[in-house]
Amino acid sequence: MRRSTGNSKLSLIFPAAILAIATLLLAWPRLQASFRYLPVDIAIARYHQDRQIPSDRLPVLIRFAREAIAYHDHYRYHDGLSLLHYLRALDPYSPALERRDTYQQSAAEAASSLQQAPAQPSAWLRLATIRWILHDEPETIIEPWKMSIFTGRTHSSLFSTRVEIGLAHYPFMDREAVAMLRDQLLLAWRARPGTLIQALARRDPELAVTRLLLASTDPEALLEMEAWLAKLH
């Protein structure tokens, strides 16, 4: 009876051990990827806080992000790699001749991330911004711009860039896009008026497009914007 009981326990322990080992083997690449990506996470979080590009660390951070993707092909790692390429292209210390290619790498990684997880307003806006910088066709810029709004309309940190891109491409917009631009303009005015005024001073200093958008629907907001902008002149 004792031998039978011992055999019975072994028959339970052995499959459990096999299952635990199999689970560990399956999880191991994800653990390696997460560990390798940790410095990238820290660097990106720091950038969002102080807006300082980590110029000297970008090459190694890009390598870490690529290695994380090699271990585990996850949308978050592609998005991080896209942001790192984008920062490298913006970095004044990067060679000018390499910037176009670096922007394209950033766009490719953003597209890879969005294929896996489309609900990423920041990634969509980065894609639109890169295409704007590279002077792509207006429709290829407006579509990801729209998707950024569809997937995160009230993302306040994105308002200003959306307004700038929208103002630059107003002549190419359909009615839906115009309505979205008007909405973003008003949201930005309520949430971050100072930042919006700076964007208007760069992209619509005479408020020509802004008047077309707001004169008949939100005249009070338009008057306030005119007063704020006048103070900058």
Tell whether 6 and 84 lie within a shared domain: yes
**Can you give the pLDDT at residue 24?**
47
Tell whether 89 and 165 lie within a shared domain: no
Tell whether 156 and 91 lie within a shared domain: no
Tell whether 188 and 78 lie within a shared domain: no
Residue 56: C-alpha distances to residues 19, 33, 62, 81 (Å): 44, 23, 12, 16
Tell whether 106 and 140 lie within a shared domain: no
**Can you give the pLDDT at residue 27?**
58
Tell whether 166 and 88 lie within a shared domain: no
**Can you give the pLDDT at residue 231?**
85
Tell whether 165 and 67 lie within a shared domain: no
**Can you give the pLDDT at residue 63?**
97
User: Domain range spanning residue 39?
Assistant: 1-117
Tell whether 157 and 211 lie within a shared domain: yes
**Can you give the pLDDT at residue 55?**
94
**Can you give the pLDDT at residue 30?**
86
- Tell whether pTM > 0.85: yes
**Can you give the pLDDT at residue 23?**
55
Tell whether 44 and 141 lie within a shared domain: no
Tell whether 147 and 82 lie within a shared domain: no
Look at residues 101, 117, 133 and tell me which one is the last residue of a structural domain: 117
> Tens digit of pLDDT for each residue in 77-100?
999 999 999 999 999 999 999 999
**Can you give the pLDDT at residue 211?**
97
Look at residues 90, 117, 144 and tell me which one is the last residue of a structural domain: 117
Mean pLDDT per block of 10 residues along the chain (233 residues) reads 52 53 58 93 96 95 97 97 98 94 98 98 98 97 98 96 98 98 97 95 96 96 94 78
What is the number of structural domains in the chain? Answer: 2
Q: Which long-range contacts (CB under 8 A, 24 or more apart) does 129-134 make?
A: 129/161, 129/165, 130/86, 130/103, 130/104, 130/106, 131/107, 132/165, 132/168, 132/169, 133/103, 134/100, 134/103, 134/104
